[in-house]
Amino acid sequence: MVNTKRALWFAFHEDHLLVCRDRDSVEVPLAADPEEFGVEVVFRQEIGLLDGRRCWAAEVSPDAKAPEGMVFRDLRRLFSGINEEFFRMAGRAKQIVGWHATHRFCGRCGAETAPVAGEMAKKCTRCGMLYYPRLSPAIIVLVRDGSRVLLARSPNFPPGMYSTLAGFVEPGESLEGAIRREVYEEAGIVIANLRYFGSQPWPFPNSLMIGFTADYAGGDLTVEPTEIEDANWYPVDDLPMVPPRISIARAMIDHFVEEYGRDPDVLETPG
């Protein structure tokens, strides 16, 4: 049954989500209208249902302050306190708010855009150009060499955390081609036996992460310093700190660990 009176509000100030302060789990405001929790919104869009409640994406005014008992938090910093469905809805809201903020005017002629009835689109009021929310396909790949896995860290990761390799798909490139290029550019190795693992919407800023596993096929591990801070082969029973469970990278690492009868629950993650 759908609760039609009070909705969940995923309200963003730039990239920061409005959440209730000092709760055991991450919670967003529950209200019939933003006025109930004391913020002015400049854009709102209904985005679906979560646990039987309607959900709204909202952009708050630039000078808005968090109401009493609430705080704006970077969505990336909330991983440990949210489940997958909440993250999916928060990510959807973040991307829709970002799309609205960057498509108020036409990129071809400069005129204002207006919502299109019945679909998620904006249309230029002068030249008719249509704009849909942007999705940027990105690959993420777990490379294995027997019971060892290749893990690397980017300079913007939390201290000590390592993850699988990832990168954006370039124009004219297949997913398979993007994987081989990224692995060679970032780690200097060749891979084989690509296998599809799964996908995940990733709202930083508007990616669709498409996951694969692959086998090491040759080459010496050589880190690209402008992309990767460090990389190494890690045995299944001696892994470094890895991403939180909310990410597809962690799902691939867990699957690898479980293949060897290990318990992924003991893996260290950022606190």
User: Which domains does the chain carry?
Assistant: 3-102 (3.90.79.10), 136-263 (3.90.79.10)
Asked whether the beta carbons of 183 and 175 are under 8 A apart, the reply is no
Distance of CA 41 to the CA centre of its chain: 24
- Give yes or no for residue 31 having a pLDDT over 90: yes
Q: What is the pTM of this model?
A: 0.90
Which pLDDT value is given to residue 20?
94
pLDDT band at 214 (very low <50, low <70, confident <90, very high): very high
- Give yes or no for residue 124 having a pLDDT over 70: yes
pLDDT band at 3 (very low <50, low <70, confident <90, very high): low
Asked whether the beta carbons of 149 and 173 are under 8 A apart, the reply is no
**C-alpha separations of 2 from 52, 55, 239, 262 in Å:** 5, 11, 44, 41
- Give yes or no for residue 94 having a pLDDT over 80: yes
Which pLDDT value is given to residue 2?
55
Which pLDDT value is given to residue 108?
97
- Give yes or no for residue 4 having a pLDDT over 80: no
Q: What is the mean pLDDT of residues 53-68?
A: 94
pLDDT band at 210 (very low <50, low <70, confident <90, very high): very high
